[in-house]
Amino acid sequence: MASSSLPVWFITGCSTGFGKELARLVLARGWCAIVTARDKTRVADLVTGAEDRALALDLDITDATQVAAAVKAAQERFGRIDVLVNNAGYGYQASVEEGEEAEIRAQFDANVFGLFAITRAVLPLMRAQRKGHVINITSVAGLAGFPGSGYYAASKHAVEGWSDALAIECKPLDIKVTCIEPGPFRTDWAGRSLKQTPNRIEDYADTVGARMKTTAQNSGKQAGDPVRAAEAMIKVYEEDNPPRHLVLGAWGVDAVKTTLKRRLGEIEAWSAVGIATDFPAN
């Protein structure tokens, strides 16, 4: 069992992107990490040289048996989990009308229900410790919708709303909750972690079709640096009062601020109509 003075991180989806870079940094700091992927051989290089502080595990978060086994193995090895990073998931692009039922459900199984399941499995440990931090990697799309990403955005919006409730429920237990909302980052997301249903309806060519083409053309050219993103996540963990939201990247910050300002303006403009729906005061 690792020293109780070392924080123990449980990170899902470590074979590429944010999960991989975060696992590298956590272990480089001398901390402990449970490093997971659907195939643990893909993360074997991350734990090499740090076998006393690292545990590589097979984990498909949509598989309830694997979720339970992974958390049990982590507890047996380290005795605690201080930080859960819900990073596993993937993107799906389609127009809302052309979205395929099987693809939509598979997306929600991974991005939403799998994330819920692993968190439910870890929470009893954090409750017993009266300490912990749940970090959910959502997306700018969790706060602002974009053409072609309706179902992906819906999955991330679901996690954002759920995280609001979780944060309130867990605050008295000293369990913190942060959502990380990245904009475009150079993680090979489009190449490895994106599924698409091609746009064939001409009426959506200038919205959905155009965005799908832009996604492919910009892959590998995004401004966001995944290593710097991982450093930001560690900074969030180290804060006594971490943010509930952290939007990553200049493009993402601008997109979210613009969306929220527009939304607040609309709510204020229509507030009289909304308030008038209450029963009249006596």
Q: Say which CATH number the domain at 226 has.
A: 3.40.50.720
> HEC states along 222-241?
CCECHHHHHHHHHHHHHCCC
Please tell me the predicted confidence (pLDDT) of residue 152: 96
Letter for the amino acid at 156?
Answer: K
Please tell me the predicted confidence (pLDDT) of residue 220: 67
Among the listed residues 92, 151, 152, 237, the single catalytic one is 152
Q: Write the pLDDT tens digit of every residue in 112-153.
A: 999 999 999 999 999 999 999 999 999 999 999 999 999 999
Q: Please report which confidence band the pLDDT of residue 1 belongs to, taking 50, 70 and 90 as the band edges.
A: very low
Give the C-alpha distances (Å, rounded to integers) separating 93 from 99, 233, 248: 8, 27, 21
Please tell me the predicted confidence (pLDDT) of residue 121: 98
Q: Write the pLDDT tens digit of every residue in 17-27.
A: 999 999 999 99
With respect to residue 135, please indicate whether it lies within any of the assigned structural domains: yes
Q: What span, in angstroms and rounded, lies between the C-alpha atoms of 19 and 135?
A: 12
With respect to residue 2, please indicate whether it lies within any of the assigned structural domains: no
Please tell me the predicted confidence (pLDDT) of residue 191: 57
Q: What would the two tokens of residue 105 be?
A: 């459900």
With respect to residue 175, please indicate whether it lies within any of the assigned structural domains: yes
With respect to residue 163, please indicate whether it lies within any of the assigned structural domains: yes
With respect to residue 204, please indicate whether it lies within any of the assigned structural domains: yes
- Average pLDDT taken over every residue of the chain: 93
With respect to residue 281, please indicate whether it lies within any of the assigned structural domains: no
Average pLDDT of the segment spanning 196-219: 89
Total domains in the chain come to 1
The answer to whether residue 152 is catalytic is yes
Q: Write the pLDDT tens digit of every residue in 32-75.
A: 999 999 999 999 999 999 999 999 999 999 999 999 999 999 99
Q: Write the pLDDT tens digit of every residue in 231-272.
A: 999 999 999 999 999 999 999 999 999 999 999 999 999 999
Taking each helix axis from N to C end, the angle separating 115-129 and 64-78, rounded to the nearest 10 degrees, works out to 30
pLDDT value at 84 more than 50: yes
Q: Please report which confidence band the pLDDT of residue 5 belongs to, taking 50, 70 and 90 as the band edges.
A: confident
Range of the domain at 60: 8-275
pTM of the model: 0.93
Q: What would the two tokens of residue 167 be?
A: 């944060």
With respect to residue 3, please indicate whether it lies within any of the assigned structural domains: no
Angle at 64 between CA 154 and CA 94, to 5 degrees: 25
Q: Please report which confidence band the pLDDT of residue 2 belongs to, taking 50, 70 and 90 as the band edges.
A: very low
As to burial, measured by CB atoms within 10 angstroms (0-12 exposed, 13-18 middle, 19+ buried), residue 88 is: buried
